[in-house]
A and B are shown apart, each in its own frame.
Chain A
Amino acid sequence: MIKIEKLHKSYPIGKDSLHVLKGLDLHIKEGEFVSIMGSSGSGKSTLLNIVGLLDTHDEGNYYLNGQKIQNLDEKKAAILRNKFLGFVFQSFNLITYKTAVENVSLPLYYQGMGRKERQQIALHYLEKVGLKDRANHLPSELSGGEKQRVAVARALATKPKVILADEPTGALDSKTSAAVMEMLKDINREGMTVFVITHEEDIAEQTDRIVRLKDGVIISDEKVNKSVNV
């Protein structure tokens, strides 16, 4: 599903440039539940942005769903994002003046879907995250956990291949964190590839595979022994 070969990325800082990713190789198959672990500055967010087509890489190859990603213009990137990727952000990134159901249906709007159908699908996914009764509330009327669940519903609405979650529990207390992680597990069980970025060990341990990143290189890539958790 996601295949990365010798990926490099650096950011210009004044005259110098900061080499953030130094030749990553990573292969994530369809249906995997992977977490990227690393402290801040390890390059994990940069990796997610490149995987999420929110940013471009400098060198190396990136294949998404078998398609080589290079020289994408904004329009193609937008279409691929809409079709294959669902995002869950640490800061939720809901549109403040839209209700929960309107937020969830927004990616469907960009697919060109009709209003009624959008509404139906959005309600279906809100129900799935247990927020059907909050459908007409604005984000400001929802708790942090509820906001993140709306964001998850929004990510799911287009039935993407991959869910990309950037510190999905970073702004939540441990109880709601657990609920959100439980939701991501459910999604994964249904066959969707889930890609989580975190710096919290206990979050990473709930996934099936942990990739550890330090200073732009992968230092370990191991399967989690499920029996330990049970």
Chain B
Amino acid sequence: MFDLDRWQEIFQTLSKNKLRTALSGFTIAFAILLFTLLFGVGNGLKHTFEKQFASGAVNSVYIYGGRTTKPYKGLQSGRSIQYRNDDEKFINEKFEKEIQFFSPNIQRSMQVIYKGEQNRYTVRGVYPDYQPLESSVIQDGRFLTYLDIERRAKVVAIGRLVEIDLFGSLSALGKNLNIEGISYKVVGVFNDPGGDNDERYIYAPFSTIQGMYKPNDELDYFGLTFNPEMDVDQAVAFGNLLTTLLKEKHSVDPRDQGAIRVRNNAEGTKNVQQFMLVLNIIILFIGIGTLVAGIIGISNIMVYIVKERTKELGIRKALGATPKSIVGMIMLESIFVTAIAGYSGLMIGVFTLRALGDTLEKYFILNPSVETYVVVGATIVLIIAGTIAGYIPAKRAARIKPIVALNDE
């Protein structure tokens, strides 16, 4: 298969015709370079959006209460809606299938002291289900358990930054914290990809906090995640139904927007997904356009090259070159130039993107990079294009009668 003579012949042709080789190589390298940069920047935009929506689970729903803005069923407007434990039961029963994780929440800012160090932190009374809701990850110890809830245990799981604030380099695990005068044992330390704020929370058992700070079964809000098997539209419908049922239960006018507020991530996800889709289509469109321009460029050059070499090919045929050897020679040249140039363009593009790194974060371009398969795919497309671009004129050149080619001036 590997024919040294043939390759020597090709290297000679290419190196003796430097301008021609450089021109065709440049076209291809430039096309691949543009393609790589474009995809990289597109991916950078995507990364930015993904990061913006990374905090919390993507399928989370939060249910807050507020004040009514409309009178309804004889009730005045301005009435405040207070959730209680029976709301938890109600939601759980109505949406058993749709809900994956579910937790009521009581949230307060409290003074927290450990030995000489003290600070104010948001303390949340929650169920163990709250952990996946926030996408927090335990790095030491454990999160809360249902046994803690049952026993109204005075235990807490603290954020990584709380540990650093109060304990410095020491481990907080097993130590007792003084929270508003009551002693809690630290059972776990977590980190959270959502950022610094999310790593300064303290989680305590819901029952413990409710018993201490909320009379009459009151609670602040609910957090839940819906079944991830639901698609975006189903999830949005679920959120709407949940809102309607809660309004009914609390005698709120269906048109009242203030009293029952359900923040459904699915709606945001839907918008983001649509935005990403449009972005992807635009990138794909421009990318394909660039590739097509590159392909046309190679085709043009190959047609020109073969035309320019008609006489040479005629001489070769007169000296005994078979049509096959002519086609083979031109195509190997074409493929060789395309592959080398395409690879160089690819490398320049990849290194440029790597050099850019996060310097364009201001412009919403974060870590611009390309998936290897995209670029390898593009290079293969170009090589195939180079092959076809070489094949058609080569075939035609091989068909020309040598006498016609020899008379070509």
Measured CB to CB, the residues of A under 8 A from B are 49, 52, 54-55, 74-75, 78-79, 81-83, 87, 89, 93-98, 102, 106-107, 109-111, 114-115, 154, 158
Contact of A79 among B8, B13, B322, B401 (CB under 8 A): B322
- Chosen A-B contacts, 8 in total, with CB atoms closer than 8 Å, are A78-B322, A78-B323, A81-B320, A87-B319, A93-B315, A95-B316, A109-B5, A115-B5
Measured CB to CB, the residues of B under 8 A from A are 4-5, 8-9, 12-13, 16-17, 311-312, 314-325, 398-399, 401-403, 406
Residue of A nearest to B15 (CB): A97
Given A54-B406, A55-B401, A93-B406: A82 in contact with B8 (beta carbons within 8 A) = no
Q: Complex formed: what's the CA distance from A124 to B252 in Å?
A: 108
Residues on A with beta carbons closer than 8 Å to the beta carbon of B320: 78-79, 81-83, 107, 110-111, 158
Q: Complex formed: what's the CA distance from A154 to B318 in Å?
A: 11
- Most A C-beta atoms less than 10 A away, residue of B8, B311, B319: B319
Given A54-B401, A109-B5: A97 in contact with B16 (beta carbons within 8 A) = yes
A54 and B324 contacting across the interface, CB-CB below 8 Å = no
Contact of B318 among A79, A81, A102 (CB under 8 A): A81
Looking at the assembled complex, report how far the CB atom of B400 sits from the nearest CB atom of chain A, in whole angstroms: 10
Residues on B with beta carbons closer than 8 Å to the beta carbon of A54: 318, 401-403, 406
Contact of B9 among A75, A89, A109 (CB under 8 A): A109
Looking at the assembled complex, report how far the CB atom of B86 sits from the nearest CB atom of chain A, in whole angstroms: 92
Residues on A with beta carbons closer than 8 Å to the beta carbon of B324: 75
Residue of A nearest to B315 (CB): A93
Q: Complex formed: what's the CA distance from A97 to B19 in Å?
A: 13
Q: How many cross-chain pairs have Cβ atoms below 8 Å apart between A and B? A: 70
Residues on A with beta carbons closer than 8 Å to the beta carbon of B399: 74
Q: Complex formed: what's the CA distance from A109 to B4 in Å?
A: 12
Residues on A with beta carbons closer than 8 Å to the beta carbon of B314: 93
Residues on A with beta carbons closer than 8 Å to the beta carbon of B17: 97
Beyond A54-B318, A82-B320, A98-B16: 10 further Cβ-contacts under 8 Å? A52-B318, A55-B403, A74-B323, A75-B323, A89-B406, A93-B314, A95-B316, A110-B321, A115-B4, A158-B320
B16 and A110 contacting across the interface, CB-CB below 8 Å = no
Contact of A87 among B4, B318, B322, B401 (CB under 8 A): B318
Residues on A with beta carbons closer than 8 Å to the beta carbon of B311: 93
- Most A C-beta atoms less than 10 A away, residue of B5, B16, B399, B402: B402
Residues on B with beta carbons closer than 8 Å to the beta carbon of A115: 4-5, 8
Residue of B nearest to A84 (CB): B320
Q: Complex formed: what's the CA distance from A52 to B406 in Å?
A: 13
Instruction: Please name the 6 residue pairs, one residue from A and one from B, whose CB atoms are nearest each other, closest first.
Output: A82-B320, A97-B16, A110-B320, A107-B319, A54-B403, A78-B322
Residues on B with beta carbons closer than 8 Å to the beta carbon of A87: 318-319
Q: Complex formed: what's the CA distance from A78 to B37 in Å?
A: 48
Q: Complex formed: what's the CA distance from A111 to B324 in Å?
A: 14
Looking at the assembled complex, report how far the CB atom of B396 sits from the nearest CB atom of chain A, in whole angstroms: 13
- Most B C-beta atoms less than 10 A away, residue of A52, A75, A93: A93
Q: Complex formed: what's the CA distance from A114 to B4 in Å?
A: 10
Residues on B with beta carbons closer than 8 Å to the beta carbon of A114: 5
Looking at the assembled complex, report how far the CB atom of B295 sits from the nearest CB atom of chain A, in whole angstroms: 28
Residues on A with beta carbons closer than 8 Å to the beta carbon of B316: 95, 106, 110
Given A109-B5, A115-B8: A95 in contact with B401 (beta carbons within 8 A) = no
B312 and A95 contacting across the interface, CB-CB below 8 Å = yes
Contact of B322 among A74, A93, A154 (CB under 8 A): A74
Looking at the assembled complex, report how far the CB atom of A140 sits from the nearest CB atom of chain B, in whole angstroms: 12
Residues on A with beta carbons closer than 8 Å to the beta carbon of B322: 74-75, 78-79, 110
Looking at the assembled complex, report how far the CB atom of B307 sits from the nearest CB atom of chain A, in whole angstroms: 16
Residue of B nearest to A78 (CB): B322
Contact of A93 among B16, B318, B323 (CB under 8 A): B318
Q: Complex formed: what's the CA distance from A100 to B198 in Å?
A: 79
Given A97-B13, A115-B8: A49 in contact with B319 (beta carbons within 8 A) = no
Residues on A with beta carbons closer than 8 Å to the beta carbon of B13: 97
Looking at the assembled complex, report how far the CB atom of B330 sits from the nearest CB atom of chain A, in whole angstroms: 15
Residues on B with beta carbons closer than 8 Å to the beta carbon of A106: 316, 319
Q: Complex formed: what's the CA distance from A94 to B318 in Å?
A: 11
Q: Complex formed: what's the CA distance from A93 to B321 in Å?
A: 15
Looking at the assembled complex, report how far the CB atom of A194 sits from the nearest CB atom of chain B, in whole angstroms: 17
Q: Complex formed: what's the CA distance from A102 to B183 in Å?
A: 95
Residues on B with beta carbons closer than 8 Å to the beta carbon of A154: 319
Residues on B with beta carbons closer than 8 Å to the beta carbon of A102: 12
Q: Complex formed: what's the CA distance from A12 to B315 in Å?
A: 24
Q: Complex formed: what's the CA distance from A19 to B168 in Å?
A: 105
Given A79-B320, A93-B318, A97-B13: A110 in contact with B325 (beta carbons within 8 A) = yes
Residues on B with beta carbons closer than 8 Å to the beta carbon of A52: 318
B315 and A95 contacting across the interface, CB-CB below 8 Å = yes
Looking at the assembled complex, report how far the CB atom of A211 sits from the nearest CB atom of chain B, in whole angstroms: 21
Q: Complex formed: what's the CA distance from A75 to B326 in Å?
A: 11
Residues on A with beta carbons closer than 8 Å to the beta carbon of B402: 54
Q: Complex formed: what's the CA distance from A157 to B178 in Å?
A: 103
Residues on B with beta carbons closer than 8 Å to the beta carbon of A55: 401, 403
Residue of A nearest to B3 (CB): A112
Looking at the assembled complex, report how far the CB atom of A131 sits from the nearest CB atom of chain B, in whole angstroms: 18
Q: Complex formed: what's the CA distance from A49 to B402 in Å?
A: 9
